[in-house]
Amino acid sequence: MTRAVPSAARAILDGDRRALARAISQVENRDPSVAPVVRALYSHVRNVPVVGIAGPLGVGKSSLINLLVARLRELGRTVAVVAVDPSSPYSGGSVLGDRIRFSRRADDGGVFFRSMASRGEAGGLAAATREVTRMLAAANFEVVLVETVGSGQVDIAVRDVATTSVVVLVPHLGDEVQTLKAGLFEIADVFCVNKADLPGAELARKDLAELVGLAAARGAWTPRVVSTSTFPTPPLGIAELWSAIEDHERFLDDSGQRATEERRRLATEIVELVRERVGRELSERIDRAPGLRKLLDEVVARRIDPRTAAERVERDRPRRG
Amino acid sequence: MPHAHPTTPIRVLIAKPGLDGHDRGAKVVARALRDAGFEVIYAGLRQTPEEIVRAALEEDVDLIGLSILSGAHMALFPRVLALLKKEHAANIPVFAGGIIPDEDARQLKRAGIRAIFGPGTSLQEIVTTAQRLVRSAA
């Protein structure tokens, strides 16, 4: 398959940050004209660490990312940050405030920071974020950090995006029963107890260490627990946090899990993309296309139930494979 | 160039250049723009013109809003405009708010700041103007 490489893709590969920023907007906007760029970049994507930083509001994710970026620059690595914040379900607007904690030399070309709004599409967001992280990898960033609130059904599913998931917590988030609940605690490859300068931090760390010791359920990796504090100068635990992340990345390579995990993520991504496209197409046509209108009329008149109608819609779709 | 899709939100960068720490106004405006459906990238306090322009380009915004109460607007705003021009991004409209004397406001408008809001401006006027600036830039 030979296709001309679109000039935008060429520019992104050559390090043009504006071309990159524009292409990211197009992906966010579900602009179909970006498809040739995405396609052309795909073969240039390298397997870089994509580190998800998840956790409740106010635990210090943005501050940690700022310090992780500084640490990575110290180590000579280039790094891109994608910070996802929620969109308002009412106005569709959002305030993306993760840049506030972000500082760097304005002329440092080795760092790129982009804010993304969730835009209400819980499922599709993971796919868009993955497309963006791949663009960043193709643009030669050696590490990608993805910041996100939570990891439930409404928020971005961190594990569908990240190669290493860091869950950030603080002391006094609740008793140890919280750690038994499903969700955030199950996805962590690394736990970060931030604000470790506060009283109760050592207890939180011990609770987590115990939980981790009990679990050891997911494969052969035992999640790490790292204490950090972004408040003092110099901050505490940042180098340790990065080396825990690197240890997990090394484990992915040594155990062969990187390939199996990536295969799983790609499968999820394809399913999501198809679901989004088919769903959008159908919602546009359901009360417009004559055949579908008639079917809907029948359902409204209680002659056909919605489930049967859905089966018919599905049956009449052209299929392949 | 932006808005391939009619429902695509407007992306706006709200930043405070210079050294004053009075960000209440910027936050209120950010909130009003959010409620009007904008995606507001809030860059916060003490930004240099270089940081502001870089953030605007990385975030691919449609609009930039600057808030200033320190009196340094005659030094900082033209610098932002000059950097945008240097980056071939002079098409991104810039509006401003804060304590800016009328004579300075006239000069800044001639220099390319598209709208300037003083104390007492209604939030609705800011929202409407922001929408108009983006429409006319597209």
pLDDT of residue A316: 81
The mean pLDDT value of chain B amounts to 91
- Whether residue A93 and residue B36 make contact (CB cut-off 8 A), yes or no, is yes
What phi and psi values does residue B40 have, to the nearest 5 degrees? -100, 115
Question: Taking a C-beta distance cutoff of 8 angstroms, is the pair A146, A84 a contact?
Answer: yes
Nearest-CA neighbor of B97 among B83, B112, B114, B80?
Answer: B114
> Of the candidates A259, A42, A67, which has an alpha carbon nearest to the alpha carbon of residue A139?
A42
Q: What residues in B contact A26, CB-CB < 8 Å?
A: 4
- Average pLDDT over every residue of B55-83: 94
Which residues from B are below 8 Å from A117, CB to CB? Answer: 9, 39
Residue B39 has pLDDT above 50, yes or no: yes
Is the pLDDT at B138 greater than 80? The verdict is no
- Residues A303-321 have a mean pLDDT of 84
The reply to whether A119 touches chain B by the CB within 8 Å rule is: yes
A35 touches B at CB < 8 Å: no
d(CA A298, CA A309): 9
pLDDT at A154: 46
pLDDT (average), residues A268-278: 87
Nearest Cβ partner for B60 among A21, A113, A117: A21
Inter-residue contact A83 to A147 (CB < 8 Å): yes
- Tell me the C-alpha distance between A80 and B84, whole Å: 22
Best B11, B51, B58 residue to mutate vs chain A (most A CBs within 10 Å): B58
State the Cα–Cα distance between residues B4 and B80, nearest whole angstrom: 27
The DSSP letter of residue A274 is H
- Taking the Cβ of residue A111 and every Cβ of chain B, the question of whether any pair is shorter than 8 Å is answered with no
Q: Are B7 and A93 a contacting pair at CB < 8 A?
A: no
Please write the tens of the pLDDT for every residue from A99-118.
887 887 777 889 999 999 88
- More confidently predicted of A177 and A85: A85
Its pTM stands at 0.89
d(CA A59, CA B62): 31
> Rounded to whole angstroms, how far apart are CA atoms A68 and A290?
56
Q: Which residue among B31, B34, B57 places its CB closest to the CB of A17? A: B57
Contact B114, B135 (CB under 8 A): no
Cα–Cα distance measured from residue B10 to residue A320, given in angstroms and rounded to the nearest whole number: 39
Q: How far apart are CA A27 and CA A114, in angstroms?
A: 13
What is the phi/psi pair of residue B115, to 5°? -155, 145
ipTM score: 0.88
Averaged over A152-156, what is the pLDDT? Answer: 49
Spell out the domain ranges in chain B.
11-137
Cα–Cα nearest to A29, from A136, A124, A135: A124
What are the chain A neighbours of B87 within 8 Å (beta carbons)? 18
Fold of B11-137: Rossmann fold (3.40.50)
Max distance between CA atoms of chain B, in angstroms, equals: 40
Dist. CA A20–CA A81, nearest whole Å: 13
CA angle, residues A71, B23, B98, in degrees to nearest 5? 130
In degrees rounded to 5, what are phi and psi of residue A189? -90, -30
Query: Nearest Cα to A51, choosing from A172, A171, A192, A154?
Result: A192
Q: Do B34 and A93 touch (CB under 8 A)?
A: yes
B38: nearest CB among A33, A93, A112: A93
Residue B33 with chain A: CB contacts under 8 Å: 93
- Nearest CA distance, B46 vs chain A (angstrom): 10
Query: How do residues A40-84 score in pLDDT, each as one tens digit?
Result: 999 999 999 999 998 888 889 999 999 999 999 999 999 999 998
User: Is the dihedral angle over the CA atoms A99, A102, A108, A110 positive or is it negative?
Assistant: negative
Q: With a CB-CB cutoff of 8 Å, which residues 46-85 of chain B face chain A?
A: 48, 50-51, 54-55, 57-60
- Bridge partners (DSSP) of residue B12 are B40, B63
The answer, yes or no, to whether residue A245 has pLDDT greater than 60, is yes
State mean pLDDT over A255-260: 94
User: From B34, which residue of chain A is nearest by alpha-carbon distance?
Assistant: A93
Cβ B39–A96 below 8 Å, yes or no? yes
Domains of chain A: 1-44 (no CATH), 46-254 (3.40.50.300), 264-316 (no CATH)
Is the pLDDT higher at A257 or at A214? A257
Q: What torsion do the CA atoms of A68, A70, A74, A80 make, to the nearest 10 degrees?
A: 70
Beta bridge partners of A236: A229
Decide if A157 contacts A232 (C-beta within 8 A).
no
Tokens of residue A246, six digits: 């690197």
**A151 φ, ψ to 5°?**
-160, 35
